[in-house]
Amino acid sequence: MIPLPVILFSIFLIIAFSIVAWKGFTKHRVLLAFLIASGASMIFGGISHIFVPTIVAQNIGWPVCPQFQFEIGIANILVGILLILSYKFDNDWILAAIVASTIWGWGNALGHVISYKKDKNKSSGNIGWALYFDILLPIISIILYLI
């Protein structure tokens, strides 16, 4: 079964790129579409951490801690908003949003790997799709920014 966050990210990408296709493809619009889809996905993750912490914790394979997950949720929403607002501001804002999401994503990826190594946590929300998203989305953002 495909995890809900993967399905939603795919839907966000389709919507964002449909708008870009309608307006005309440019490098800048493709970057913005990817950042907006990534940001929407992060906001969904943040809302999930806040409002359904038990489900999220079980998916990650970690103990439930609503207070800590609230903070994680707020951070996810913050980075998501930074990414989405990229459409409104200049390249300096876009670069800052990419740097913030890269630090957040790669930091999370490191945490997932440590959880796997230390606790043998093979949950899909730890060492599966979440790990790939945390590593690949920043890489794709950086590449789209640089081209």
Confidence check: pLDDT of 1 > 90 = no
Average pLDDT value for residue range 20-29? 91
Q: Which two tokens stand for residue 62?
A: 């970690």
Distance of CA 55 to the CA centre of its chain: 18
The sign of the dihedral angle between the CA atoms of 49, 54, 58, 62 is positive
Predicted confidence at residue 98, as pLDDT, reads 98
- Domain hosting 126: range is 4-146
Q: Is-above-0.85 flag for pTM?
A: yes
Longest dimension (CA), the chain: 48
Task: Tell me if 57 sits within 8 A of 64, measured CB to CB.
Answer: yes
The neighbour count for residue 76, using CB atoms within 10 Å, is 24
**Domains identified in the chain, total number:** 1
